[in-house]
Structure formats: structure tokens, C-alpha cells
Chains A and B, each alone.
Chain A
Amino acid sequence: MNPIIDGIVKAFQLIFSGDPTVYSIVYRSLFFSGTAAILAALWGTPIAMLLGLKDFRGKSIIKGIFNALIGMPTVALGLILFLIFSKAGPLGFLGLLYTPGAVILGEAVLVTPLVVSIATTAIEAVDPEVINLAKTLGASESQASIAVLKEAVNGVIFSNMASFNRAIAELGVALLVGGNIAGLTDVLTTDISKYTQRGDLALAIALSMILIAIVFGINLIIIIARNPKVLATLGRSPQ
């Protein structure tokens, strides 16, 4: 049989047989990327609010830097973080290198520019008078900022979706700071790379299919949760 078709068949067998190796890799990927996306949202959203709501000198330069960092090659960032986390590096004393913490932190750093840029654009798109509206209705400065954030909620959710997608699909950072240690820091992308190089196409294909299914599935769930009417339009033919 063709090795690719053979690989696909075996991949389905691995997925549906409940193979513990496959599922532990999936769990780690979801956990690392999910935590990284949450961390990026926690520190990226306040930065976006500052950039979107306040006027200060150097604001456009900071926005430009975040925009430019979106395209940062993951391997390059992985190498920079490797040097920072390594024993001789400035954060070497933390002993983070080749630990799950290093992968989570690295991925969070990687996706932060994405969160900041998309959320800033969404906040800037909100009518600037909304902050005055909230204030005249009795909101404090912080409550008024939250009112603006609520108006930009679609953009902010989109920024979180995009950051999760980038985190789960990246290879460079996880490989360089995680070391792809089986059962500890290996994730879907690093294992796809490893098993492809080893010639274990079935496992590589299975993991790839799962990775794609996760990305599509999670995005679809969020879209439907935001607007349940999407489901009703699926079966409708175009007018």
C-alpha cells in the first residue's frame, strides 16, 4: 500500500483507539498554548487599552514595534529565549530551560504582539465618545475603560483566538526552550517534526490531523458561542 495512505489509515486507528501517547501530547499542547494565550491576554489587553485609549509621546513607535514583532520568526525568538533561559543567561538562575514553564512563557511572549496589535485596533475602532458617555452616566475612569473594552469585545476575542492558534501551531520556541522531551515538553508540532524525521508517518499524520482539527474546532466553537445564529444559516442555500 502507498505509505501515505497507509499512514492516514494508521492515523485514524491511533486517534480512535484512544492511544495514551497521542492523547498526552494533545493534552500538553492544549495546556501549554491555552495557558500562554491566557497569560498574553492578561498582560497584552491592558497594554492594548493603554495604546488604544491614551495619547502619549512615542505611542505610534510602540504600536509599530508590536506590529513588526507579529512577524518575528519563531525559531529566532526561540533562540533568544534559549540564550536568556540558559545557565549563562540573565534568567538562567530560574532553571526554566527545558521545562513546561519555559514553553508556556516563550509562547506567551511570542503571541503577545498579536494580542496587543489586534486588541489595540479593536479598541481604537470604538467611538471615542463612549468613554465620555460612560463617565457622564456615572462611571469612574476604570469603569469607563471597561465599557470601551466591552464595545471592542469581538476584536479582543479575535485577538485571543489568533494568539491561541499561533501558540499551538508554532514550532521554534517549543523546540528550542522546551527541548522536545518526551512526556514533559513535547507538543504536537515538535512531535510531528520528530516522527516525520524518524519515518513514523502514521503518528506524524495522526498528530497533524489532530492539530488541524483542534484549530478549526476551537475557532468554530468560539464563533458559534458568540453568534448561535451561525448554525441556523449553515443549512441555508445562498439567496
Chain B
Amino acid sequence: MTVLAELKNLTKCFSNRTVLDDITLQIEEGEMLALLGPNGSGKTTLLKILAFLEKPESGELKFQGETVTDKNAERMRLQSAMVFQRTLLFSTSVYNNIAYGLKMRKLPQNTIKEEVKKVLRLVKLEGFEKRSAKKLSGGEQQRVALSRALVLKTKLLLLDEPTANLDPKNAQIIEEVIATINRELRTTIVMATHNMFQAKTLPHRIALINDGKITEVGTPAEIFGKLSKNLASFAAVGNTFTGTAKTTTAGTTMVDIGNGVQIEATVQRQGVTSVFVSPQDIIVSKGAVASSARNVFKGRIIEIFDLGSLVKLKVDIGKPFTVQITKRSFSEMALNLNVEVFIAFKASAVLLI
């Protein structure tokens, strides 16, 4: 396979703090690579260097065999596009947002119109051209931001947590679009994520990044197939716990993660293992609800994060679990700090690493 971008012994510091330390990585043409790591691990900085927006202190970055310098960075930028984690939109219409990059490339007006229309169809936002971009819902805004990068058809697409803080419907649309353009247009994609499920299913390769260092690179099967010490050490990744697993007579696995918390999973496993539960898969209720969920715990809300249309809660059940619910549910249930709640999730929603 041809190497599209190559990073050699790359280091980046901000105010004497090293955020990227001796990074060496090759990105192959047409591949989808996930940078998996906790918040603050250096994923965004690495993406910005790949987008030629940040300059490394030392080391070398090559793009299509050419070393990136101050002189050619502006030209190189035309070959890549980055979608930021925090949805950034210009205060204008959807059309003007998406057309911005095409106008910078001085494409004819008719071509721009056609391309905008096509990309809006791809992200399921047909007919949204005249709408004010900033008045759309959070999910729609992120789809506009993605389509603004997609429309440029760059060789390299850099996505920073593209589905973070999105509801499942919008997250699914974005994941489908990412997979489609990688498969059909063979666009090389580098995506930062701390979502284990996304990392397991979407990319061809995963690079584990922690404390500014790439600790492991491999296929999802390689990374998730063995008990990766590096992967398990991502305590900062929400809802990741280490415990001892025992198979039950019912054919499921019980993992004791400490403090009296035992999690049931459908996957069979014995011995030390790491457990991950996606915040979107956890149901919150004020009372114990009879359901098919094998994992039901009583806890107390210890932290609340407002994410716009969604609310992220941290519930202490002996171990802190992050849960994501809609703001409407949050208001209707009159949830607040220190309120006692029940959390529930299915055994099949538990990922054993």
C-alpha cells in the first residue's frame, strides 16, 4: 500500500508541556485509522498537525512523500480537511458554509451548486441550503460541518470525535457517511475517538494514544482480540473498568470490578479483563424497573454535564458510571445532583476487552 502521510519522531509542546512525544506513524492511502485515547491524550493536536494547522517542535511530517514546511503548508492544506470536535459553523446559511472551501478553490458557481446539493443528499439534509446553519439541531449542525469537509473531496479527511455528544440517530448517519466515503471514494480517514465501540467497528487500524505517546498500532482484531494492557489502562475513557471475570452456569460472564459491583456480560471470559459500557446504552430510572436488562444498579448522581440537547451524568454505584440522556428526559425526571437513581444495561451491551 502507498503511504499517504508519514510522521517521524514528531514532538509538540504547548507552554513547556509536551503534548506529543516522539510520534512515529504511517498513514496508508485509502485506510481508515482511529486514534483511540482518553481526553487530553494528544489526539486533537496530532490531527491538527496532520491538517497542517499546527507545527511540530521537532520531527518530520511527510505528505505524499514531500516534507511539510512553512512554505508549502498552505498548498498542502488543500489536500486535507478537518472536522472539529466542537461543531464550528460560519454565521451564514448551510449553503454558504458548505460552499466556503469550494469558493476558496475558485470553482465555477454551477459546479459549487451541484456539489453542495450532492453532499447534502449524502448526509440526509436535502433542501437545507437556505436554512441558517446555526439554527439547526446539534446533530444537523455536525452533519453540515462534515459535509463542508466532504464536499472538498480531499485525499485526507481528519475527524475529531465526529459523533461525540450526538444522539444515536445522528451518530449513525455520520458513521454511515464516513464508512461510505472511505469505501467508495477511497478517502483516507484519520479519526480521533474515545468511543471503544466505534473504534472496534469502523476503522481498518487503530493507534492507541495515551499521554502524547502512541503505545500500540494494529487492526481492531489485534487490539481488542488480546488483552491489551495499554487499552485497559485507559481509565480516563468513561465506563472502562478492570476486574476478574468468571463464567456462570447460564453461559454468561460475571465481572467483579470492585466495591461490590458485578457486571454481567454475554461474552464468555475468565480471569482479569477490562469492561466497557457505552454511556448511550445505559437507561436511567428513578425506581427499579422490571426489564430484561441483566445489570441494574442503584446509585447517586455525582456530576452533571450540559451538552446542549443531551445531558451527561456521572452516577456513583460504587464505581462511577457515565450515562448519556436527552435533556428532555433529564427535565421530566427532575434529576439533580445527589438524587438517587437506578441505572440498567443489557449484558449484551457490555464489551469485554
Bound-state CA distance A135–B53 (Å) is 8
CA distance in complex: A139, B148 (Å) = 13
Is A136 an interface position by the 8 A CB rule? yes
Instruction: Please encode chain A, from 58 to 95, with 1 for each CB lying within 8 Å of some chain B CB and 0 for all others.
Output: 00000000000000000000000000000000000000
Alpha-carbon distance between A135 and B84 when the two chains are bound, in angstroms: 12
Indicate whether B286 reaches chain A with its CB closer than 8 angstroms. Answer: no
Min CB gap A113→B, angstroms: 27
Q: Is the CB of B152 within 8 A of A129?
A: no
A127–B88 touching, CB < 8 Å: yes
A136 with B81: CB separation less than 8 A: yes
B104: CB under 8 A from chain A? yes
Contact A143 B104 (CB under 8 A): yes
Q: How large is the interface on B (under 10, 10 to 19, 20 to 34, 35 or more residues)?
A: 20 to 34
CA of A140 to CA of B104, assembled, Å: 9
Distance, CA A189 to CA B152, complexed state (A): 56
Do B90 and A147 have beta carbons less than 8 Å apart?
Answer: yes
Determine if A129 and B86 form an interchain contact, defined as CB atoms under 8 angstroms apart. yes
Residue ID in chain B nearest A151 by CB atoms: B91
Q: Which residues of A contact B82 (CB under 8 A)?
A: 132, 136
Let me know if A133 is at the binding interface, CB within 8 A. Answer: yes
| Chain A interface helix/strand/loop/mixed | helix
Looking across the interface, which residue of chain B has its beta carbon closest to that of A137?
B101
A226: CB under 8 A from chain B? no
Whether A134 and B81, one on each chain, are in contact in the complex, defined by CB atoms closer than 8 angstroms, is no
Residue of B nearest to A143 (CB): B104
Report the separation of the CA atoms of residues A136 and B82 in the bound assembly, to the nearest whole angstrom: 6
The reply to whether A138 and B78 form a contact with Cβ atoms under 8 Å apart is yes
Q: Does A4 contact B (CB under 8 A)?
A: no
| Cα distance, A191 to B231, chains bound together (Å) | 79
Interface check B100, CB cutoff 8 A:
yes
Contact assessment for A130 and B88 in the assembled complex, using a CB-CB cutoff below 8 Å: yes
User: B53 to A137, Cβ gap below 8 A?
Assistant: no
- State A143–B82 Cα separation when bound (angstroms): 17
**Cα of A132 to Cα of B88 in the assembled complex, Å:** 10
Residue ranges of A at the interface with B (Cβ–Cβ < 8 Å):
127, 129-130, 132-141, 143, 147, 150-151
28 A-B residue contacts at CB 8 Å? A127-B88, A129-B86, A130-B88, A130-B90, A132-B48, A132-B51, A132-B53, A133-B84, A133-B88, A133-B90, A135-B53, A135-B77, A136-B51, A136-B77, A136-B80, A136-B158, A137-B100, A137-B101, A137-B149, A137-B152, A138-B101, A138-B104, A138-B152, A139-B100, A140-B74, A141-B74, A143-B104, A151-B90
